[in-house]
Amino acid sequence: MGRIQYAFKFRKLAVQPGLLAIVHLGEDVQSNSAEPPQRVTINGSSGLTLNLTVDARYALNRHWTLELAYGSPLVVREVCPDGLTRSLVANLGIAYRFGE
């Protein structure tokens, strides 16, 4: 896994576009329904997944920050038996910073 991001700052707003690369090194294996069950290799389940990511933070004041995270795949593996493929993922949150 590797991530590249760059931060752009505009007063109270910080935006970080980036790329997240995940390389699945081996083919997945599953048990089939034969008796007795046999382990079967899933061809096409190894390879690269490349995601576009954008993180944004808006400072409400010294302690409170609104945060938004977005991710969307640009390159996906041929077969994804792990069920983790999504057209997009978005997360909205609020954070409190203790201290100064």
Bridge partners for 51 per DSSP: 20, 73
Q: Where are the domains positioned within the chain?
A: 2-96
pLDDT of 83 above 80: no
Bridge partners for 47 per DSSP: 24
pLDDT (tens digit, 9 = 90+) per residue, 24-65? 898 888 888 888 888 888 888 888 999 999 999 999 999 999
Q: The tokens of 77 are what? A: 């593996």
Half-sphere exposure of 25 (CA within 13 A, CB side): 1
Q: The tokens of 100 are what? A: 């100064």
- How far is 91 from 70, CA to CA, in rounded Å? 7
Q: What pTM did the predictor assign?
A: 0.76
Residue identified by tokens 């081996």 is 26
